[in-house]
Amino acid sequence: MNDTNVFISQKELFSLYNHAGSPDTQGQGLPFRIPRSLAERFPEKNNAVIRQFIPSPQETVILPYESPDPLSEQTFRKMPWLVHQYNSRVLIRATDQCAAYCRFCYRRAIQTQVSGFLSNTEIANLCEYIQGHKSIREILISGGDPLFGTDTWLYKLLSGIRTASKQSIIRICTRIPIVLPERITDSLLATLKEFGPLVFVVHCNHADELDKQSRTALDTIRQHGFYVVSQTVLLKSINDSVSALINLFTELYRLGILPYYLFQGDLTQGTSHFRTPLSKGLSLYNELRKNLSGIELPRYAVDAPGGLGKIYLPEGCTQNGDGNWFLKTPDGKTALYPEE
């Protein structure tokens, strides 16, 4: 892609929004990238969408309990780009590239450890691994964002995976329909259609993200017969209100998208300014349960520190005397999550 035409510079973005602060602000280890079309779609100053992508000096604040690898993916990494934590599913980091870099990304410290997109040799190696593990029922393709790759590269990746595992369900974990909806083309979807069963897991955090362009992209995905679910991160001052979350989940449901997960913020280095206190998250979720139907209501979850996996909330946590939270895993292990 031509960066000059497709992406807006940080200096130009700060000027466009009359943003207070230095346009030279650098995030802690995470590149800056926003499509020009995304900035033009949301021209209002201080809007909830663009704020998710603007670097802040607060990213240099590292708290004692924060980690560069909060999910301990390194522990379960079988190859530099393959994580096998759960017996029935495997995660492929197909690229370190995103169309727009969310400043709260839990992989922010390792985004540049995989360069570009998986090579033919790397694809062959991961397919050999998948073929040798018959317990795998689901294959999550993440990144970065796999849809930032070309149709040709995606075809090579998916054809290799489908040859290695004919019955597994493939999940495409993506933010592209929101941040670069023009990437969702009939050609792309025809390529993906060859390798079903395939599910889109779309990252969407605010109802404002569901504008005309992204709605068209999401509708196009559904019209091609794909099942689409959403995942949302609970973000301080972005969507941490009952009204914001209700608007988001009801709009997703109207679009035929199943709200799947609402995630409590991970303890990622330099992201404390985005995290909502767990006590507030639990209070918000209690109100959501009163106001949303069962099909509109996502599961509230947190990835436990130390690589202990997903914990469902509120049933998976209790508060201790210090104001922190005990997270209980299904197999009886315990992790500590701070009350910030």
Secondary element (H or E) of residue 300: strand 299-304
Alpha carbon distances (Å) from 298 to 104, 207, 211, 234, 289: 20, 15, 21, 12, 10
pLDDT for residue 332 is more than 60 = yes
pLDDT at 16: 80
Bridge partners, residue 169, by sequence:
138
The residue among 30, 34, 37 whose CA lies nearest residue 14 is 34
114, 95 in Cβ contact below 8 A?
Answer: yes
pLDDT for residue 3 is more than 90 = no
Residue spans of the domains in the chain: they are: 3-315
pLDDT at 19: 63
The residue among 236, 310, 241, 303 whose CA lies nearest residue 273 is 236
Per residue in 158-213, pLDDT (tens digit) is 999 999 999 999 999 999 999 999 999 999 999 999 999 999 999 999 999 999 99
Per residue in 241-288, pLDDT (tens digit) is 999 999 999 999 999 999 999 999 999 999 999 999 999 999 999 999
**In angstroms, rounded to a whole number, what is the distance separating the alpha carbons of residues 331 and 329?**
5
Looking at residue 331, what DSSP letter applies?
T
CA 321 to chain centre: 33
Bridge partners, residue 297, by sequence:
none
90, 133 in Cβ contact below 8 A?
Answer: yes
Q: Could you tell me the two tokens for 253?
A: 């449901």
100, 179 in Cβ contact below 8 A?
Answer: yes
Q: Could you tell me the two tokens for 221?
A: 């995905």
Q: What percent of the chain has pLDDT over 70?
A: 94
The residue among 337, 333, 330 whose CA lies nearest residue 315 is 330
| Residues 51/52/53/55 CA torsion (nearest 10 deg) | 70
299, 312 in Cβ contact below 8 A?
Answer: yes
Backbone phi and psi for residue 92, each to the nearest 5 degrees, phi listed first: -110, 120
Which of the four pLDDT bands, split at 50, 70 and 90, describes residue 323? confident
pLDDT for residue 1 is more than 60 = no
Phi and psi based region of residue 18 (left: phi greater than 0; alpha: psi -120 to 50; beta: remaining): left
Q: Could you tell me the two tokens for 222?
A: 């559904």
Half-sphere exposure of 255 (CA within 13 A, CB side): 29
**In angstroms, rounded to a whole number, what is the distance separating the alpha carbons of residues 257 and 263?**
17
Averaged confidence pLDDT in the chain: 92
Per residue in 92-121, pLDDT (tens digit) is 999 999 999 999 999 887 765 556 899 999
140, 173 in Cβ contact below 8 A?
Answer: yes
> ∠ CA 173-174-175 to the nearest 5 degrees?
150
pLDDT for residue 232 is more than 60 = yes
Mean pLDDT of 26-54: 88
- The domain 3-315 having CATH identifier 3.60.20.10: the answer here is no
| Residues 257/97/77/127 CA torsion (nearest 10 deg) | 80
